[in-house]
Amino acid sequence: MVERRLPNAPRGSAAQADPSTLRQILNPGDEAAPGTPGTGEDICPLCHGQGRIMRSRCPNCGGTGKIIRAIGGA
């Protein structure tokens, strides 16, 4: 099993990368988990990077204003 450090986790701590952990990290607009090779941050197309739609948290990015998107390609 692969060990992956979670975002905002103290240095030296690692969590087992299992499906339930990855589901907690991913937002609906993400194409891959953060740190996946070949991906990068992009502005959420739904809230345009604001993190909110009207007065509610954006459901696509989870309120961060950013999504993880695949880059490059063939």
Domain map (residue ranges) of the chain: 3-70
pTM: 0.63
Q: Residue 43: its pLDDT value, please? A: 97
Contact 15, 6 (CB under 8 A): yes
pLDDT of 49 higher than 90: yes
The vertex-28 CA angle with 6 and 13, nearest 5°, equals 5
Digit-coded pLDDT (tens) for 4-40: 445 555 554 444 455 555 555 799 999 999 889 999 9
Q: Give the 3-state secondary structure of residue 68.
A: strand
- Helix (H) or strand (E) segment spanning residue 19: helix 19-25
The first and second tokens of residue 31, run together, are: 């194409």
